[in-house]
Chain A
Amino acid sequence: MVKEEQELANRPDNTAFTQQRLPAWQPMLSAGIVIPGFVLIGLAFIGIGVALFVTSRSIQVLEFDYTGVDQNSPCFKCSDPKVLNCVCNLNFSIDSLFKGTVFFYYGLSNYYQNFRKYGVSKDDVQLSGDLTNFKTPSDTCSPYAYDSNNQPIVPCGSIANSMFNDAFKLYQIINGTNTLVPFDGKGIAWWTDYNIKYRNPSITPLKNAFNNTVKPIFWSKPAYELDTSDPANNGFINQNFLVWMRRAALPNFRKLYGRINEGDYAQGLPAGNYSLEIAYNYPVLSFDGRKKVVFSNVSWMGGKNEFLGIAYLVIGSMCVFMSIVMLIVYAKFKFPEEDGVPGH
């Protein structure tokens, strides 16, 4: 009896787990799965690719570089950094109706918002409306934390300091008169940025919260006066500010400036001549940057994106092609299914 008990104690458990006999699914790349699988994937990709390509084709995009490098460019006169408060007009015409809500973007090239030190140069606590960080901005903002008089800068840091400050006004030229095409600048930032991430201090008027602070060095007006037309669109929740603060992943990027969805232009921009009045404030030529504006409408898949459709088409075709190759190979070197295991 004792011996049996001892035996029980030493004998390993006879379970599927300990004996490595767990029931298991053992997939194998057999021709019956792989070849039809490739065909299916290929066809699905081609289908999606066609859909994407067609949709992308239907999207209209209008792009203008207004940096003013070229002497013939309307903004050439403004490209000299010494010229202040320069305004230039960009005239263009649209042949056919620019359908749907038209989105107006500004774009920058060779601009490194994704540079690591640029990216960390802000104070999230300050931007979430914490007044203690109004007085003592975080070190990450350096060298834009304090001005030369040791006054705290609010909002601090490189990102805020370098905020894009060109302003745009679009006019449709109807019979020689300029009719303002209004940009809707609301809701162009992320919902979470506007509602959660960035908060103004709960002090009214907002101006008081900024006592004993200075505006960022490059700014022409303080944060609480960014939008004089709409008092609610000021401080850290100014839409353009939010758009700027959401830094781009790549050195060539565009950012939403406004939508054209009001009044006569709710259905899109009608054909005709237009003039874009640009308040040229933002110098980019010093680092060989470029500025552009983009008009675009969107579909269910967003803006124009030819790459995606083409990529899907290519991959889909390659899958189909591979399946044919595999079928040939399989037919030629048939897996020895019937022969059982070859001798060894």
Chain B
Amino acid sequence: QYLCAKHEERRVRANDREYNEKFQYASNCIMTSKYNIVTFLPVNLFEQFQEVANTYFLFLLILQLIPQISSLSWFTTIVPLALVLSITAVKDATDDYFRHKSDNQVNNRQSQVLIRGSLQNEKWMNVRVGDIIKLENNQFVAADLLLLSSSEPHGLCYIETAELDGESNMKVRQSVSVTSALGDPNNLALFDGEVVCEPPNNKLDRFCGTLYWRDKKYTLTNQNMLLRGCVLRNTEACYGLVIFAGPDTKLMQNSGRTKFKRTSIDRLMNTLVLWIFGFLVCMGVILAVGNAVWEREVGSLFQSYLPWDPPVDNFLFSAFLSFWSYVIILNTVVPISLYVSVEVIRLGHSYFINWDQQMFCSQCNTPAEARTTTLNEELGQVEYIFSDKTGTLTQNIMSFNKCSINGKTYGTDPLDFTPFNPLADPNFCFYDDTLLESVKVGDTHTHKFFRLLSLCHTVMSEEKSEGELFYKAQSPDEGALVTAARNFGFVFRSRTPGTITTTEMGRPVTYTLLAILDFNNIRKRMSVIVRNPEGRICLYCKGADTVLLERLHPCNQELMNITSDHLNEYAADGLRTLALAYRDLSEDEWEAWSESHRCADKAASCREDRLAAAYEQIEQDMMLLGATAIEDKLQEGVPETIAVLSLANIKIWVLTGDKQETAVNIGYSCKMLTDDMTEVFIISGHTVQSVRQELGSVCLSLSLFSLQCPPPSPPPPPSNLMDNISGEFALVINGHSLAHALEADMETEFVSTACACKAVICCRVTPLQKAQVVELIKKHKKAVTLAIGDGANDVSMIKSAHIGVGISGQEGIQAVLASDYSFSQFRFLQRLLLVHGRWSYLRMCRFLCYFFYKNFAFTMVHFWFGFFCGFSAQTVYDQYFITLYNIVYTSLPVLAMGIFDQDVPDQRSLEYPKLYEPGQLNLLFNKREFFICIAQGIYTSVVLFFVPCAVLSNATQSTGVPLADYQTFAVTTATTLVIVVSVQIALDTGFWTVINHVFVWGSLGLYFTIMFALHSQTLFKIFPNQFHFVGSAQSTLLQPVVWLTIALATAICIVPVLAFRFLKVDLKPQLSDTVRHTQLVRQKKRKPVGRSVGGAWRGVGRVSEGRLGTRGSRRSGYAFAHQEGFGELITSGKNMRLSSLALANFASRHSSSWIDTLRRKKHSHAHTPPSASGESSPPLYRLPLLFLAGE
């Protein structure tokens, strides 16, 4: 490592362990665990004391050890501190144990290492840098390897990188040509090449290195690398040279600690704790001043009975000491148990999420999972949801749903294909047997329709055995179309660069593929030109209706109108439509065009434009065949969920990488966009100016409705101005426009505009932009954001949002790994937020309110007592009571409330989404509420001190013994305190389960039991020095006056609270009060539930059931992913496993041109840097790499 750092490069020589050991590279043993048995205690303690709270309590402990200051025994602090530390330590230890276990499991995986010419099984941890290891199909890659050779032709091998980057598609890697020839282990054992490369880094898509072998240099790129964490697929075996091992691998370099998220309650809590510290210091100062005055006025005179201690020689020094003494006894206003209790409650809530059956998806057998246990209450405050589209809102399953052939529309009932066609895909379903009939009858148009679908595409097929066909489609839409054709009897079987073989109605047919006029964003269509076995040439074209219908032969007018109606109908159903057309070409036409095409292809400049022009030329006068409609299947319950969430005042933004049409389409089908909307704005400008202009005009339209739109120029408008706009608007913005809108000078305008809209859809956004949008809202709106997604491209967004949710049960796990919560269906989001989030927030707020209250009530009594005991930091209570108050006497009831409380049942919070609003407005726990709690606590403390004080000062027992002794006073106050706070928690608890009963009554019982035990003779006889209170409990609690005092103080504390709460519910009922009240009344009357309830929700249901009315605007989607197709690759034969044919055929003419294309494309929109092509590597082998990199 030292050398590496010095030279900024790494040298690895194959099969030479001695040489490599010089550099002391990391071994392949990974260690994600933090501790071992020896280091656990010191390291863990060190980490824990980095927490401010823990250090603070340690500081207190040290203070307590100073006899002059110690107003409390040391154990009052050390017992809770030890408890807190040990709970945390146990948790850390458990976590680390599991890390150890998984480390061991990974480290002990077997791999085959080539040692001295023979393959030996070694554990992963024993693999060294420079070893050559053999991987077999479906094995995990053990370390970052340089691919040397593989069982596949050209040294190709396929890997799945899901664990690394979350992308579930397969990728191809290829070895350098010279090593791919090495082949078998014997040759590899002699391989002594040396790799010089960059030092370990975390860039997954980059590798720079050089292989020196036999006096030659070969450039190495990421295309030659197999990274740890990948899985080898579709490749029998391959050999690789270990370059980076263990912690140096890119996987481990990437597994950095994720950003620790805190909730707003957390931040508020920390602020409040700081304030409380301030308050504590103030109290300390007041009491210290009091002490100074007292010592001067009284204490100095009282010295005959109480001389000052030797170190205390004047009142100022005494006041100084008194300050610290008071800091010690008043420290319970910030109880150490607060943080632990909060964690326990959150953990409980997380378990409830994990346990929720209604968030369990039985199809994919995945329960919901709270991966972060510290964010639960924030789920009750979400205002913005940022959702990915594919895989989140939709299932990413395209189903061929409807079609229109020659003016007739098909698609209603399910069909069984198997008796008709043995090659059918069993998973395919279509709903109209009239179509099948017309295929069987031999309707020309229908046949042409499906023939087009079976020919005009760039799908690759793989036929493992007869009839077992697998299509590898670049986009699921294409796959759906080809599968449809397959099921209707036009089976695409295989292709070569020049041919397409199909089985048409059971008869094999081979077409000569003359040209592929590939798809791109501008053309929005693709065509193939084929020659059928009879020798007729035909152009088949499919594309977006908007572009295709313009290019039809005029005789199609009538059919076009009918088809157009059908297209409108499909679009209204939220389907993705395509129009299909064909054109018969004569031999002459083909020849002429072929020539012009070749010219265009060869052109050095503006090749693409010229090609497009050439394509344009031939795609004319086509005959319309019909249209297809593909359903981008929404996940279950998406529209309902979105409706419920927007009723809960949550704004939903869809951020998708898809193109605008697709995104808008989905927006409609999941009811984010509706036809009732006043206007849907679309921003798609490419320049700063045009974006600004578009944004300005949106603003203008908005202002027509509100007259409040801020001027587009600075100063930036307060964003809440636009919150109350009457109409419903939606905004659709494109990625390239978004890039401008996110710039500093426009972002405020963008935010205010976007937030005024009911729905916002950002399409074609990059992962980085997704995160930027989230950050923007976080920055400008101060609102809680939630991001939900399923893919690797959502990771950045998931990480930057306050709460990240991953859709689990899909293939990629990257999003889930980065997320805080995961479940498998988008619809579970409503339960997560409206039920669990709401409850968590409510419980946490009630918990905090009560917690601060009880500690102020407890602690402030000392403050009042200070004025009567010469500010001497004398505690009011027994020190054992102080130790146990927070951890035993009052902890469990409030924990039970914090974990189990419910104000309204779960189904009600789904029925009344408005119940969610208090969380968003942060009403239940904020600074105001905090001060109310504190005030109540202080009021209680006043009562707790002065009532016993007033009663007991003159009271005597019935035996004449005065009750005003210190111990009686202490016991009376403590008992009153415990009773008052128990009554208060009983009032606060709205949901009394058995557990609450046990805890509340149990705590009271425990208090009396422990007190009697501590005041018993037995304990005193053993430790006469420790238990001064012997007999106090008995003597005090037998006095009726004491009980009258307790009753009086309790009444004075509780009666105003009761009256206030009653009046509040009566005068200003919250929605939750009303719902709860109705619920209870109904329960009492035993009426069937659901008369007037749920109206709001049922409305939603109706919307989803009903079909959308006819729409003016047609949303046609060219059903392709927005990437350019495979056309050129297919014609070049690059991606086919053909031995000689391809090699012979792909002449430099073709290849050079498409390399350029791909390069340009990569420059324009891939984030990966262009792979450097090796100088010495022959072009033959370089080409596939480039194509695959583009993928």
Point out residues on A near B: beta carbons under 8 Å: 6-7, 10-14, 18-20, 22-31, 34, 37-38, 41, 45, 48, 52, 101, 103, 105, 110-119, 121, 124-125, 128, 130, 138-139, 142-143, 158, 161-162, 187-193, 196-197, 246-256, 259, 283, 286-288, 296, 298-305, 307-308, 311-312, 315, 318-319, 322, 325-326, 329-330, 333, 335-337, 340-342, 344
User: Would you call A256 and B960 a contact (CB within 8 A)?
Assistant: yes
Q: Is B1190 an interface residue (CB 8 A)?
A: no
B816 to chain A, nearest CB (A): 15
B960 to chain A: closest CB distance in Å? 4
Given A301-B958, A302-B963: A34 in contact with B1058 (beta carbons within 8 A): yes
B995 touches A305 (CB 8 A): no
Known A-B contacts A7-B362, A286-B301; A41 and B1051 likewise in contact (beta carbons under 8 Å) = yes
| A30 to B304 alpha-carbon distance, docked (Å) | 61
10 closest cross-chain pairs (CB), A and B: A192-B1031, A249-B969, A18-B355, A287-B301, A303-B956, A103-B960, A116-B872, A162-B305, A116-B874, A25-B992
Q: CA separation between A335 and B958, bound complex, in Å?
A: 49
Give the distance to chain A from B1050, nearest Cβ to Cβ, in Å.
10
Residue contacts A-B, CB under 8 angstroms, 5 given: A12-B367, A248-B965, A256-B962, A308-B955, A344-B912
Tell me the bound Cα distance from A110 to B299 in angstroms. 10
**Complex contact A24–B993 (CB within 8 A):** yes
- Which B residues are CB-close (under 8 A) to A13? 355
Q: Which residues of A contact B957 (CB under 8 A)?
A: 302
Q: A341 contacts B900, CB within 8 Å? A: no
Residue of B nearest to A261 (CB): B960
Instruction: Check B868 against A114 for contact (C-beta < 8 Å).
Output: yes
- Complex Cα–Cα for A315 and B964 (A): 23
Q: How far is the CA of A283 from the CA of B305 in the complex (A)?
A: 10
Stretch at the interface among B919-927, B1090-1098, B1100-1108: B1090-1098
- Bound: A116/B874 CA distance, A: 5
Instruction: Give the segment of B113-121, B410-418, B943-951 that binds chain A.
Output: B943-951
Contact A38 B301 (CB under 8 A): no
Count of chain B residues with a beta carbon within 8 Å of a chain A beta carbon: 106
Question: Min CB distance, A266 to chain B, in Å?
Answer: 15
- Choose one: B991, B1028, B1041, B1067; the contact of A305 (CB below 8 Å): B1041
Which residues of B (1018-1042) have their CB < 8 Å from a CB of A?
A: 1020-1021, 1024-1025, 1028, 1030-1031, 1034-1035, 1039-1041
B356 to chain A: which residues have CB within 8 Å?
A: 12, 18-19
Cα–Cα, bound, A335→B1075 (Å): 12
Q: Which of A27, A189, A250, A283 has the most CB atoms of chain B within a 10 A radius of its CB?
A: A250
Say whether A197 contacts B1031, CB under 8 Å.
yes
Contact (Cβ within 8 A) B305 A161? yes
- Chain B residues with Cβ below 8 Å from A117 are 306, 309, 872
A25 to chain B, nearest CB (A): 4
Per-residue contact bits, chain B 287-324, to A (CB 8 Å; 1 contact, 0 not)? 00000000000110110111101100000000000000
Q: Flag B838-875 by CB within 8 Å of A: 1 or 0 each.
A: 01000000000000000000000000000011101110
**A340 neighbours in B (Cβ, 8 Å):** 1078, 1091-1093
Q: Determine if B1156 is an interface residue (Cβ-Cβ < 8 Å).
A: no
Whether A322 contacts B298 by the Cβ 8 Å rule is no
Note all chain A residues with C-beta closer than 8 A to B1048: 308, 311-312, 315
Residues of B within 8 A of A105 (CB): 962
Say yes or no for B613: interface residue by CB 8 A criterion: no
Min distance, Cβ A57 to any Cβ of chain B, angstroms: 14
Task: Identify A287's interface contact among B304, B947, B958, B1021, CB under 8 A.
Answer: B304
Task: Indicate if the CB atoms of A344 and B1096 lie closer than 8 Å.
Answer: yes
Q: Is residue B1066 contacting chain A, with contact meaning CB distance below 8 A?
A: yes
Q: Considering residues A11, A52, A308, which has the most beta carbons from chain B within 10 angstroms of its beta carbon?
A: A308
Contact among A37, A38, A52, A118 with B306 in the assembled complex (CB-CB below 8 Å): A118
Interface assignment of B1169: CB less than 8 Å from any CB of chain A: no
User: Complex Cα distance A306/B414, Å?
Assistant: 90
At the interface, yes or no: B553 with Cβ under 8 Å from chain A? no
Given contacts A143-B310, A307-B950, A248 and B1031 within 8 Å (CB-CB)? no
Query: A143 touching B869 by the CB < 8 A rule?
Result: no
- Given contacts A27-B990, A139-B67, A302-B1039, list 10 more A-B pairs with CB under 8 A: A26-B902, A119-B966, A189-B961, A298-B959, A301-B1040, A302-B955, A303-B956, A303-B962, A315-B1048, A319-B1051
B352 within 8 A of A: yes
Contact B1035 A190, beta carbon cutoff 8 Å: yes
Please, which residues of chain B bring their CB within 8 A of the CB of A312?
1044, 1048
User: Are the C-beta atoms of B964 and A253 separated by less than 8 Å?
Assistant: yes
In the complex, what residues of A have CB within 8 A of residue B302's CB? 112, 115, 287
- B1052 contacts the other chain (CB 8 A): yes
Task: Please give, as numbers and ranges, the residues of chain A lying within 8 Å of B301 by CB-CB distance.
Answer: 286-288
CB-based contact B914/A344 at 8 Å? yes
Chain B residues whose CB sits within 8 angstroms of the CB of A101 once the complex forms: 960
Nearest chain A residue, comparing its CB with the CB of B1076: A28
In the complex formed, the residue of B with least CB distance to A304 is: B954
**In contact, A143 and B307 (Cβ under 8 angstroms):** yes
Given contacts A308-B1044, A335-B1069, A335-B1077, contact A253 B962 (CB under 8 A): yes
CA distance A103 to B957 in the complex (A): 11
Q: Is the CB of A125 within 8 A of B1024?
A: yes
| CA distance in complex: A205, B996 (Å) | 60
* Residue of chain B at shortest CB distance from A245: B965
Asked, given contacts A193-B1031, A303-B954, whether A29 binds B1058 with beta carbons under 8 Å apart, the answer is: yes
Contacting pair B1041 A12 (CB below 8 A)? no
Chain A residue nearest in CB terms to B351: A18
Neighbouring A residues of B1028 by C-beta, 8 Å: 124
Bound Cα distance from A187 to B960, whole angstroms: 10
Name the B residues within 8 Å of A330 (CB-CB).
1066
B953, A250: Cβ atoms closer than 8 Å: yes
**Given A14-B357, A20-B352, A125-B1025: A259 touches B960 (CB 8 Å cut-off):** yes
- Smallest CB–CB gap between B946 and chain A, Å? 10
Q: B833 to chain A: closest CB distance in Å?
A: 16
B298, B962, B1063, B1074 — most chain A CB neighbours (10 Å):
B962
CA distance A246 to B964 in the complex (A): 10
A245 to chain B, nearest CB (A): 10
> A241 to nearest B CB, angstroms?
15
Whether B868 contacts A196 by the Cβ 8 Å rule is no
Chain B positions within 8 Å of A29 at CB level: 1058, 1061-1062, 1065
On whether the beta carbons of A247 and B306 are closer than 8 Å, the reply is: no
Q: Is residue B1059 contacting chain A, with contact meaning CB distance below 8 A?
A: yes
Per-residue interface assignment for chain B, residues 959 to 978, with 1 indicating a CB less than 8 Å from any chain A CB and 0 otherwise: 11111111111100000000
| Contact A333/B993 with A190-B1031, A341-B1078 known, Cβ cut-off 8 Å | no
Q: Let me know if A112 and B306 touch, CB within 8 A.
A: yes
Contact partners of A307 in chain B: CB under 8 A: 950-951, 954
A299 to B958, CA, bound (A): 6
Cα of A298 to Cα of B1080 in the assembled complex, Å = 51
Report Cα–Cα, A222/B1067, bound state, in Å. 71
Residues of B within 8 A of A193 (CB): 1031
Which residues on B sit within 8 Å (CB–CB) of A26? 902, 990-992, 1076, 1080
Q: Which A residue's beta carbon lies closest to that of B867?
A: A251
With the chains together, A28 CA to B1031 CA distance in Å? Answer: 41
A341 engages B1066 (CB within 8 Å): no
Contact of B441 with A by CB under 8 A: no
B1089 to chain A, nearest CB (A): 12
Query: Is B1081 among interface residues, defined by CB-CB distance under 8 A?
Result: yes
Q: How far is the CA of A308 from the CA of B1066 in the complex (A)?
A: 33
Kindly list chain B residues whose C-beta atoms are within 8 Å of the C-beta of A24.
900, 902, 991-993, 996
Taking CB atoms, residues of chain A closer than 8 Å to B1030 are 192, 196-197
The answer, yes or no, to whether B952 is at the interface (CB within 8 Å) is yes
Task: Name, among A6, A318, A340, the residue most crowded by chain B CB atoms within 10 Å (CB to CB).
Answer: A340
Q: How many angstroms between the C-alpha atoms of A307 and B946 in the bound complex?
A: 12
Identify the interface centre among B309, B970, B1061, B1066: most chain A CB within 10 Å of its CB. Answer: B1066
Contact of B965 among A41, A158, A187, A249 (CB under 8 A): A249
Docked Cα-Cα span, A18 to B836, in Å, equals 13
Chain A residues, CB < 8 A from B307: 143, 158
